[in-house]
Structure 1
Amino acid sequence: MPPIRARVLDTWDTVRSSYWFIPSLMAVAAAALALGLTRADGLVGAGWVEAVSFLQDGTRPEGARAFLSTVAGSMIGVAGVTFSITIASVVYATGQYGPRLLTNFMDDRGNQVTLGTFIATFLYCLLVLRTVRSADEAGGVGEFVPHLAILGALALTLASIGVFIFFIHHVPESIHVSNLVAGVGRDLLDRTESLFPERIGEAGTTREAGRDPTAQTSMPDGFFDEARRVAADGAGYVRGVDAEALLDLATAHDLVVRVRHRPGDFVAAGDALVLAWPPDRVTDEVAADVRASFAWGSQRTARQDTRFLVDELVEIAARALSPGVNDPFTAVSCLDWLSAALKSLAARDFPEPTRHDEGGALRVVAQPTTFGEFVEDVYSQLRPYVVADRNATLHALTTIGEVAGRVADRSQREALREQADALLQGATDSLTIDADRRDVRERHRDVSRLLAGHVGFEALAAQTDVVGGTA
């Protein structure tokens, strides 16, 4: 069976983030409920209605039809208004904060359930309405009023009113910039927790138990000259890689596979997805199975591409710092969430690039995203915008200091030091007021002391409010 899990998961992500999937499920459920309750009405009869006084007005076919018609007409009208409000809010938010945020709104369960509730209530009332019969329409069988189903319509109507009240609150809340930034930031932290470390088999060298002393444990000689290129058969962004399937394929066919593209990379038709060695074992069928381990599409997603969420926050911050918007406090909020992600990453073990099978043989080489690359993605992309604003520059240096308090690896500290020095140089060139440049130099000096190990994080926090809070 070909390894198609990556494409299945990608298709599932696309479907469940659409505006039609949940409303469609709710409409099907409403249709089943309408058929079930009308069937139950036929079995139970109408005698029980006499004991419920508030149902007396609806015991006649005319009253039942009026009620169901009113509810159905109201629901489809409210659904149209709701859809218009949703589209208007999406257009505003994506135009103001960035088009990439459209994915977040499409993923919003509140909007999907709201639309689904109104559509389901409308469909339910229509299906129940067609079962109502008066005596002269019954062909001698007698009139029929589905009282249980009408109670169900009443319950759905009350639920729709509650959902509409929720929606009126949810729309302005969802486009509030602080909530937008926090939503992306929480998604980034969740992705960080689930993807790092992400292991393919056993990381490092080998398992000692069951190790084959003759196993290939390093890249074969002449690998890049002899390996077969397994190329993409379409163009788009890599959205997912089934790492376990690649390891299983390489083990089953005794291959060494080097992955050329990570989630988030763009590939064109003919670009190499992997290099596989030895080439004589890479048949067309094996190549097709390897290709099926990758999923790509027209846009990036966050399922395996943590950098996509970083880019979303960077885009919001960059727009906020543009001369036309001039909102440094939104940029500061983005920097706070980005630094939270970097703090989380600093405490995690990044996966090794090499993966081995049970016998210790090298099977997959897949270069992971490093901490330094994340630091580069955050600060290098934002630097041209940050250095032109005193407040944003000072806060960017503060976040570097906060992250520095969590790192222990020398290479991680060096990556942070390079960004701090670049921020100082950029701000020195961009800021025109001497007092602003002096503030930046002082903040950079404190952060540099921390990065160099000349002062501990808590000691610096006790001396100044640069890191560690202001209390």
Structure 2
Amino acid sequence: MTYDRTSGGMFRDEESLQGFLGSMQLANGNLKNLFERVIASLWFVPVLCTMGGVFTAVVMLAFDYAWKDSWELPFWLETTTDGAQTVLSTISGGMITVAGVVLSMTMVTLSITSSQFGSRVLRTRIRDRTTQWTIGLFLGTTVYSLVVLKMVRKIGQEDLLIPHLSVMAAIFFAIISLVVLLYFIHHITMIAQAPEIVASLAHDLNRSIDHIFPEKIGDPPPENVPDGEALTDQQREAIDGGLAIRSTSEGYIQSIDADILLKLATDGDLVIELPKRPGDFLSRQETIARVAGGKSEDEDRLTTTVNEAFYLGNSRSPRQDVNCSVHELAQMAVRALSPGINDPYTAVNCIDRLSAALCRLSERRIPKANRFDEEGHLRLVVDRQTFASVLHAAFDQIRCYALTSVAVSQRLLEGYQRIANCLTEPDQAADVLHQARLTVEGVLEAGHHPADVVLLRQAYVRLKEQLKPLANRPQPSKSSGNGENSEEESSGDGEASGEVIG
């Protein structure tokens, strides 16, 4: 980037200006990602409240000092130096003690939650705003009392500086803190219950679905260009033989700044294919993109820009990864079905929430794998999330571990029926029916009581009849040359193998 001081601070050419704007966009993306990590942490709100306590103390002391001679205070606001020091020292000591108790209760709850339901569910417990604001309120009240306590002193031999209003505000904050403590005790007993944890994970899953589906990265393709035919053989060959961009760091992809990649592809007349998506793990020197077009001397710039568009972390994030929350719910259900815990009712709760989320997803527009610019030129080819991939992530593990529990298998079929009520696409109906068939076949192989098997067979037959009109609807032909996830094509009903369940 060049900067011309002789021309009044203007950039010398358009390329320099574009480079500056690109670096600013990268900086904004990094700041946004950092901000989201900070606000999701346990310490951010308490630190904010502590700083607020210092600021409030300074403001209240300024009021007291400016108007101490002009106000006629009522008797219940007046105090003495010894009285103010006693009240403030008692409040500050008590609040810091209770803050320690709150932190201890929080740590105990996190420990129990981790041992009972798995460490992955701690993400939602750490982000609990009630816990954060409770800790912050006690710390803020403590700091406020200490700052005001410092100012309660004699000036000379006769004049006294007694912050009457500040002391009364400290008493008010202490009363509010005690009320919040009572609510926190109620809240901490509620959030340790399995249904509340499942509901919290389901809330994150629904937010991810709302955020991602439908998602918009670039303009949609022209109406006369089907998604399966948007990538021509020449484009496929050019991408396969294009420049391979390799990762310079290691971790889980938490988000991808598609705006940066779209702008890079548009400005350089490129086509960029992303074989990875949020939630995947990247190792160093692993291929994260293939670029067709451009010049060889731009390789270093392309590598730097593409890597800066990938935000990595030590764990997955639900912001752009809908399967993050899906796997958390599935893991909780699988853990509940383990012999050491043996809690099928928690697994049932997870199945209910997952089926409701998939109903929500079935009503959304699945984004296209190929993304275009404003002029209709292909710019990005992405590895997209599909209904089939989310369905498999939700139920494959649970289905395998539920073989020993007929009740959980029955709830799985009820969940499939719930999803079937919302389906509108034939391929989605085939995916759901495929899962139901695998569930019933697994129960048959487990050798359960014939009466239980009959109930499962009847539920499968009802589901099959429910989906029959939708499954018989003709499906549009799909091309396999666009790099899409082909899970939905490989998960058909399989009538031949379905003979075993009648």
Q: 1:455 to 1:219 in 2, by over 3 A?
A: closer
Question: Are 1:249 and 2:264 an aligned pair?
Answer: yes
Q: Which residue of 2 aligns with 1:126?
A: 146
Q: 1:237 aligns with which of 249, 252, 266?
A: 252
Q: Which residue of 1 aligns with 2:220?
A: 203
Aligned equivalents of 2:236 and 2:333: distance in 1?
A: 47
Q: Secondary structure at the match of 2:380?
A: strand
Aligned equivalents of 2:420 and 2:364: distance in 1?
A: 14
Q: Which residue of 1 aligns with 2:481?
A: none
Question: Are 1:271 and 2:286 an aligned pair?
Answer: yes
Aligned equivalents of 2:252 and 2:312: distance in 1?
A: 5
For 1:359, the aligned partner's letter is E
Deviates more, 1:432-441 or 1:116-125: 432-441
Post-superposition offset of 1:205: 3.4
TM-score, normalised with respect to structure 2: 0.84
Structure 1 residues 138-153: aligned runs within 5 Å: 138-140=155-157, 142-153=159-170
Q: Which has the higher contact order (CA 8 A, sep 6+)?
A: 1
Aligned equivalents of 2:279 and 2:470: distance in 1?
A: 39
Q: Which residue of 1 aligns with 2:391?
A: 375
Q: Secondary structure at the match of 2:338?
A: coil
- State whether residues 236 and 296 of structure 1, in contact with CA within 8 Å, keep that contact through their aligned partners in structure 2: yes
Aligned equivalents of 1:365 and 1:151: distance in 2?
A: 63
- State whether residues 426 and 471 of structure 2, in contact with CA within 8 Å, keep that contact through their aligned partners in structure 1: no
Aligned equivalents of 2:460 and 2:325: distance in 1?
A: 27
- Give the RMSD, CA atoms, in angstroms: 2.1
Aligned equivalents of 2:449 and 2:125: distance in 1?
A: 41
For 2:301, the aligned partner's letter is E
Q: 2:421 aligns with which of 393, 405, 412?
A: 405
Post-superposition offset of 1:363: 0.4
Q: Which residue of 2 aligns with 1:24?
A: 47
- State whether residues 259 and 364 of structure 1, in contact with CA within 8 Å, keep that contact through their aligned partners in structure 2: yes
Q: Which residue of 1 aligns with 2:178?
A: 161
For 1:160, the aligned partner's letter is S
Question: Are 1:184 and 2:207 an aligned pair?
Answer: no
Post-superposition offset of 1:8: 2.7
Aligned equivalents of 2:137 and 2:470: distance in 1?
A: 61
Deviates more, 1:8-17 or 1:104-113: 8-17
For 1:48, the aligned partner's letter is W
Q: Which residue of 2 aligns with 1:466?
A: none
Deviates more, 1:319-328 or 1:305-314: 319-328
Q: Secondary structure at the match of 1:324?
A: coil
Deviations 1:289-315 (A, max 9, x none): 221111001011111111010011111
TM-score, normalised with respect to structure 1: 0.90
Question: Are 1:91 and 2:111 an aligned pair?
Answer: yes
Post-superposition offset of 1:169: 0.7
Q: Which residue of 2 aligns with 1:54?
A: 76
Q: Which residue of 1 aligns with 2:192?
A: 175
Aligned equivalents of 2:343 and 2:436: distance in 1?
A: 22
Aligned equivalents of 1:219 and 1:197: distance in 2?
A: 29
Aligned equivalents of 1:18 and 1:216: distance in 2?
A: 42
Q: Secondary structure at the match of 1:230?
A: strand
Post-superposition offset of 1:451: 2.1
- State whether residues 358 and 391 of structure 2, in contact with CA within 8 Å, keep that contact through their aligned partners in structure 1: yes
- State whether residues 218 and 373 of structure 2, in contact with CA within 8 Å, keep that contact through their aligned partners in structure 1: yes
Post-superposition offset of 1:207: 9.6
Post-superposition offset of 1:286: 3.0
- State whether residues 61 and 145 of structure 1, in contact with CA within 8 Å, keep that contact through their aligned partners in structure 2: yes
For 1:155, the aligned partner's letter is F
For 1:302, the aligned partner's letter is P
Q: 2:95 aligns with which of 75, 94, 105?
A: 75
Q: Secondary structure at the match of 2:252?
A: strand
Q: 1:313 aligns with which of 297, 314, 329?
A: 329
Q: 1:225 to 1:185 in 2, by over 3 A?
A: closer
For 1:67, the aligned partner's letter is V
For 2:127, the aligned partner's letter is D
- State whether residues 367 and 384 of structure 2, in contact with CA within 8 Å, keep that contact through their aligned partners in structure 1: yes
Aligned equivalents of 1:450 and 1:20: distance in 2?
A: 50
Post-superposition offset of 1:15: 0.6
Q: Which runs of 4+ in 1 moved over 4 A?
A: 215-219
Aligned equivalents of 1:54 and 1:312: distance in 2?
A: 55
Aligned length, in residue pairs: 444
Q: Secondary structure at the match of 1:387?
A: helix
Question: Are 1:110 and 2:130 an aligned pair?
Answer: yes
Question: Are 1:447 and 2:460 an aligned pair?
Answer: no
Structure 1 residues 224-373: aligned runs within 5 Å: 224-278=239-293, 280=295, 282-373=298-389
Q: Which residue of 2 aligns with 1:461?
A: none
Post-superposition offset of 1:93: 0.8
For 1:327, the aligned partner's letter is D
Deviations 1:141-177 (A, max 9, x none): 7211111211221221111112111111110111111
For 1:294, the aligned partner's letter is F
For 1:236, the aligned partner's letter is G
Aligned equivalents of 2:456 and 2:327: distance in 1?
A: 25
Q: Which residue of 1 aligns with 2:4?
A: none
Q: Secondary structure at the match of 1:352?
A: coil
Deviations 1:99-151 (A, max 9, x none): 101110111000110000000000000100000113xxx23472111112112
Aligned equivalents of 2:83 and 2:215: distance in 1?
A: 62
Q: Which residue of 2 aligns with 1:463?
A: none
- State whether residues 31 and 127 of structure 1, in contact with CA within 8 Å, keep that contact through their aligned partners in structure 2: yes
In the alignment, structure 1 segments of 5+ residues that lack a partner are 209-214, 457-471
Question: Are 1:65 and 2:85 an aligned pair?
Answer: yes
- State whether residues 216 and 361 of structure 1, in contact with CA within 8 Å, keep that contact through their aligned partners in structure 2: no
In the alignment, structure 2 segments of 5+ residues that lack a partner are 1-21, 473-502
Post-superposition offset of 1:323: 1.7
Identity of aligned residues (%): 31
For 2:303, the aligned partner's letter is A
